[in-house]
Amino acid sequence: MKQLKSLWIHLTWLSIDVVLGAIAGLLFFFKLFRVNLDPNIFLLLGLAVWAIYTADHLLDARNAKELITSRHKFHQKFQSVLLIALGLVVAFGLVYAYLVLGWSREFYLSLIFGATIFLTMVSLRKAGRLAGILKEISTSIFYVLGVAWIPLLRADSLDITWQSLTLLLFYILLAFLNLLMLSFLDRKEDQVQGFVSAASIVEPDKLILGIRRLSFLIIFGSFASFILFSSFYRPYACLILMMTFMHFFSFFNPKLSAHTKRIRTEASFFLPFLLLAL
C-alpha cells in the first residue's frame, strides 16, 4: 500500500493525474458533441497537457523565492532530465500532430490556440501580483477549451446546441472552482514561494464565500439541466453535478487534510470515464 501511495504521489508530481483528467474530459466532449472517438487525439491531448503543466512547474521551480513543496523540489532536482523529456515530447507532439491532422484547419487553428495559451502564460507571469485572479480564470478557460477543442471543430453544427454549450460553460466553471479551491489550500506555500494566485489578493473569508457561492451556482445549474434538458444531455449534467459534489464535500470537510482534499477534487475529473459504459 505504501509503495502504491508513493507511486501515485510521484505520478501527481509528473502531472499524470492532470493528463488522465484531461483525457476523461476529452471523452466527455467527444460524446457530448456526438463526434466519433479518435485515439490519436487522446494521445495528442495527453502530450500537450503534460508539456504545458511540466513547463509551468519547471518555471515555478526556477523562479520560486524558496522551494518548500515536494513537487517543486522534484522538478528542481530533475530539471535537466525533465527539460530533455519536455523537448522530446513537444517535438514528437508537433510531428505526430502534423501526421495525424496534416496541414488542415484543425492543425493551424490548434497552433494558434497553443500560441495564445503560451503568450497568456508568459504575460501573466510578467504581470506579477497584478495578474491576481486572472491566472485562475484564464487557466480554467484555456484548459476546458483545449480539452473540447477538436470535438468542437469536428462537431456537426446541429450538435453544437445551446444545451451542449451550457454544459461546456458549467465545465469551465467547475475547472475555475477547482483552481480557487487549490489556491486556498496552497495559499501559505504560495506566499512563501512568491507565487501569485487568487488567494494572494482575496481575503480568505471572501474567497471561501466565493467558493461556496460558485459551488451552489454549478450545483443548481447542472441539476436544472438534468431536469430540463432532453434525455441525451442528462448523463453529462449528472456527471458535472457529481464532480461538483465531490469538490464541495471534500473541500468543506474539516476532517480531511489539505492533501486529501486535493487528491479527491482532482480525482473527480476522472468521473467522465464512466461514459465508456454507455
Query: What value does the mean pLDDT take over residues 120-141?
Result: 78
CA angle 232/238/243 to nearest 5° reads: 140
pLDDT of amino acid 128: 65
In this prediction, residue 130 has a pLDDT band, given cuts at 50, 70 and 90, of low
Burial class (CB in 10 A: 0-12, 13-18, 19+), 153: middle
Residues spanned by the domain of 43: 2-277
Query: What value does the mean pLDDT take over residues 189-204?
Result: 77
pLDDT of amino acid 198: 80
pLDDT of amino acid 129: 64
In this prediction, residue 6 has a pLDDT band, given cuts at 50, 70 and 90, of confident
CB atoms within 10 A of CB 8: 13
pLDDT, tens digit, for every residue of 111-129? 898 888 888 887 877 766 6
- Check pLDDT > 90 for residue 176: yes
What is the count of structural domains for the chain? 1
C-alpha 219: how far from chain center: 19
CA angle 192/204/198 to nearest 5° reads: 65
pLDDT of amino acid 65: 67
Entry pTM: 0.93
pLDDT, tens digit, for every residue of 255-275? 999 888 998 999 999 999 999
128-137, 176-185, 202-211: which has the minimum mean pLDDT?
128-137
pLDDT of amino acid 269: 96
Give the closest residue to 142 by CA, choosing from 31, 270, 48, 212. Answer: 48
Query: What value does the mean pLDDT take over residues 100-110?
Result: 89
pLDDT of amino acid 193: 72
- Check pLDDT > 70 for residue 38: yes
pLDDT of amino acid 273: 96
Q: What is the C-alpha to C-alpha distance for residues 213 and 210, in angstroms, rounded to an integer?
A: 5
Q: What is the C-alpha to C-alpha distance for residues 243 and 111, in angstroms, rounded to an integer?
A: 31
Query: What value does the mean pLDDT take over residues 190-208?
Result: 80
Q: What is the C-alpha to C-alpha distance for residues 54 and 35, in angstroms, rounded to an integer?
A: 29
Give the closest residue to 252 by CA, choosing from 212, 214, 216, 222. Answer: 212
Q: What is the CATH number of the domain that holds 26?
A: 1.10.600
Query: What value does the mean pLDDT take over residues 134-152?
Result: 92
The DSSP-derived string for 133-150 is THHHHHHHHHHHHHHHHH
Query: What value does the mean pLDDT take over residues 23-40?
Result: 96
pLDDT, tens digit, for every residue of 44-84? 999 999 999 998 888 878 876 666 777 878 888 888 999 99
**What's the whole-number average pLDDT of the chain?**
90
pLDDT, tens digit, for every residue of 217-252? 999 999 999 999 999 999 999 999 999 999 999 999
Q: To 10 degrees, what angle do helices 16-32 and 134-154 make?
A: 50
Query: What value does the mean pLDDT take over residues 169-188?
Result: 93
